[in-house]
Structure 1
């Protein structure tokens, strides 16, 4: 970071501290009345313990689906990153109407620390990220920053872990437990796929790929009772995704194969003769998620998005396996 940028960040940090010290009225992004009794709280993260001294009133949500998680808890971030490029308020349709005031949309891979500091946050959520230590160090100088838990791969924080971290940091652990229990029941009611294997793939930038254990999409299938395919699992090297060449598309074969496009039309997948000739496709057990809202929900990793995906994707899986 250049000297000028550092100077600006210092000025903004000073302003942030002054504003937090002088304000007594919660703003957008604040917690509901009575939440202050839960503080101070200490949250364990992969970078150590983070203390949140009082109920935050200006929350910035930077991690994948952190904003949706805060919204599910009744807290409206003042700034958020739009990882799935929803546009507008930066959240999926399952979170529509939860904002009273749209947040400032911030970067994802190219994050401006100055833009974050300018929002004068008193809490930063970055629970599902690339796990970069320098980014966490810089953000922590702006405000207490809730990073990922220990022992996860990049972007591998589960929806449970995310809800636990965020609800504790916001002083709403009971609400978090309640939301987790609701989604767990939905999974339990839908988990009728024991003994079946599933592979989740995607097509992005003219390249196929498959998700591996530790990724939320694979976790989703496992919670429904599906097993993973060991040939794909063995390709994982600390990442959530592995590339699959056209010659390797047979690796996507399983009892159920789920594929969706990113940045292109699903027609590319429907017309791909190689994909449509793998055994699962020929048996009718290939599900191409051509509804962007559904594929986004499947990828969201928030309690809100996961619940939407259970309701709308599971019937497609069931119908495919009945063929």
Structure 2
């Protein structure tokens, strides 16, 4: 297994953020651990984060990428981290999913994401730490910033809820790659625009996006990367799910509440379990959207991770591969 769903943490936070990326920046060959020549003129740069302004004095050459999708975002912008988070490290030596076409010249040191070894990070002697999508914890940030300038999430953004646009902006600034980040953002935005134009039936269609893990079912609310993906295609998250939203980006769904996942389009995926553990459930099979063929179960790990990635590269892969499934389910 070369990729795995990732949102580990408390309950579905441990199961919610499946992330990854595929080569939107494939034509940008990454350097061997630093910014491109000439980009040093951009420094020093000051990046605004939830933890205050962070100044990067010089062009970083030893980057540690801890936040989910930070490493693949840096790669897409042409920079190879010397350390990277482990969210996709199962079966790989570089922490990347199968869809990421860029390669490292030398595999990075893999760092445990949720409880990183600060000693291991310090031993890499980084001059920049990217942690743009993580727990948003002040203690974590303080410890990391003692090692090197650390780029956390934007102000007002909750744990793991940094959008792909915000991530591109933060990473692009910190690496002195703002032009490359802008180009990549435009490419992804255009891909969404094209997909929505090709499928006008998506516009205004009610959708319920959920997951099933050992904790049971859950439904995602606005602010989550998967819901944002659907909304950018024109879908509307089910109002009954939104009404239950708290500060979290998901709501638990008991079997007695399973009708909450019934919508004009239902999209559900398994996390650390087999899909058969819920698709064989009579209550699941009784949902009108399931009976009428309007339910999409995302079982392919690579596609699932890309769909959930909230990274620019991953979104491009997902748009190519998951949009046709949505269209088929809606009879398009």
> Considering the TM-score relative to the shorter chain, is it more than 0.5?
yes
Match of residue 265, structure 1, among 264, 274, 278: 274
Q: Can you list the C-alpha shifts for 1:25-60, whole angstroms capped at 9, x where unaligned?
A: xx9421111110111111000111000011100000
SS of aligned partner of 1:236: coil
* 1:46 and 2:50 correspond: yes
State the partner residue of 2:321: 312
State the partner residue of 1:179: 184
Q: Can you list the C-alpha shifts for 1:100-140, whole angstroms capped at 9, x where unaligned?
A: 11111101111111111111100000000111011111111
State the partner residue of 1:121: 126
Match of residue 30, structure 1, among 28, 34, 42: 34
State the partner residue of 1:81: 85
**Runs ≥4 in structure 1, deviation > 3 angstroms?**
84-87
Q: What is the TM-score with the length of structure 2 in the denominator?
A: 0.87
Shift of 1:275: 1.1
Q: Distance in 2 between matches of 1:99 and 1:164?
A: 22
Shift of 1:97: 3.9
Q: Distance in 2 between matches of 1:143 and 1:42?
A: 14
Compare 41-50 and 91-100 and name the one that shifted more: 91-100
Q: Structure 2 vs 1, CA of residues 37 and 132 (structure 1 numbering), >3 Å: closer, same or farther? A: same
State the partner residue of 1:155: 160
Q: Distance in 2 between matches of 1:184 and 1:97?
A: 21
SS of aligned partner of 1:257: strand
Shift of 1:265: 1.5
Q: For the Cα contact (< 8 Å) 1:73–1:172, is it kept in 2?
A: yes
State the partner residue of 1:243: 252
Q: What is the TM-score with the length of structure 1 in the denominator?
A: 0.89
Q: For the Cα contact (< 8 Å) 1:59–1:124, is it kept in 2?
A: yes
Q: Structure 2 vs 1, CA of residues 294 and 31 (structure 1 numbering), >3 Å: closer, same or farther? A: same
Total equivalences in the alignment: 297
Compare 78-87 and 198-207 and name the one that shifted more: 78-87
Relative contact order (alpha carbons < 8 A, sep ≥ 6): 1 or 2 greater? 2
Q: Structure 2 vs 1, CA of residues 67 and 295 (structure 1 numbering), >3 Å: closer, same or farther? A: same
Q: Which runs of 5+ in 1 are unaligned?
A: 1-26
Q: For the Cα contact (< 8 Å) 1:84–1:296, is it kept in 2?
A: no
State the partner residue of 1:196: 205
Q: Which runs of 5+ in 2 are unaligned?
A: 1-30
Q: Distance in 1 between matches of 2:292 and 2:59?
A: 54
Shift of 1:85: 4.7
Q: Can you list the C-alpha shifts for 1:133-171, whole angstroms capped at 9, x where unaligned?
A: 111111111000000001112100000000010001000
Q: Distance in 1 between matches of 2:168 and 2:37?
A: 20
Q: Distance in 2 between matches of 1:240 and 1:184?
A: 23
State the partner residue of 2:170: 165
Q: Distance in 2 between matches of 1:209 and 1:260?
A: 10
State the partner residue of 2:223: 214
RMSD: 1.3
Q: Distance in 2 between matches of 1:220 and 1:262?
A: 19
State the partner residue of 2:263: 254
Shift of 1:206: 4.4
Q: For the Cα contact (< 8 Å) 1:154–1:240, is it kept in 2?
A: no
* 1:63 and 2:67 correspond: yes
